[in-house]
Structure 1
């Protein structure tokens, strides 16, 4: 499940808790597209409470939108105490050099919010 978090006009805020389905992805992409209408580049802030995977259709929708729009994302802050996220974030940072990615623990949430809005 994806819950939208209102942070700032140029920041897409998400909270993930459980499995992401196609309906979640459609809701998130709708908000993302609206923000991109008003901003040249946006940042992404993600709080991960628990991740239960992603449905195949949701993954396809995400990739169809994200790949052609990679340069429209400036940075991404991932807030999570799940340790296996850190190596994945480092790999993603190398694969997509136009997006600066940082990982924060739950107790660093305020720092992550500040950084993603800079």
Structure 2
């Protein structure tokens, strides 16, 4: 399940994701990203993941395909989580795509994460 989190900076797509990401959920999220990218040359993504349980194999490959096709259109990504394994995965993503600023924040620093994703 996901819910949108509104931001004053309209380039930011804010999401709270809980549970497992399914293919249908990923399709909806990609549609939201496409809407941002239709209005801005680069978008930012903010995700809170308090109880993330992974993603289906189909969703994983769809996410990979989408990300590789749009990697140059993302400016920043902030992930808020206390799940250590997720910090590692997000850190690897940041190394694979060095042109995208990627930061992981613990849940206790949610306001710092929100400030960072919106900063100029």
Structure 2: unaligned runs, 5 residues or longer = none
Instruction: Give the TM-score normalised by structure 1.
Output: 0.92
Partner of 1:57: 58
Per-residue deviation, residues 43-97 of structure 1 (Å, max 9, x unmatched): 1101001111211222222222111110100111110111222222222211110
Contact 2:81 2:87 survives alignment (8 Å): no
Report how many residues are paired.
118
Instruction: Give the TM-score normalised by structure 2.
Output: 0.90
Contact 1:47 1:80 survives alignment (8 Å): yes
Distance (Å, rounded) in 2 between the aligned partners of 1:78 and 1:44: 8
Partner of 1:34: 35
Structure 1: unaligned runs, 5 residues or longer = none
Distance (Å, rounded) in 2 between the aligned partners of 1:48 and 1:40: 26
Contact 1:3 1:15 survives alignment (8 Å): yes
After TM superposition, the structure 1 stretch with the greater mean CA deviation from structure 2, 56-65 or 12-21, is: 56-65
2:33 alignment partner, SS class: helix
Residues 59 and 87 of structure 1, relative CA distance in 2, 3 Å threshold: closer
Distance (Å, rounded) in 2 between the aligned partners of 1:56 and 1:91: 19
Partner of 1:108: 109
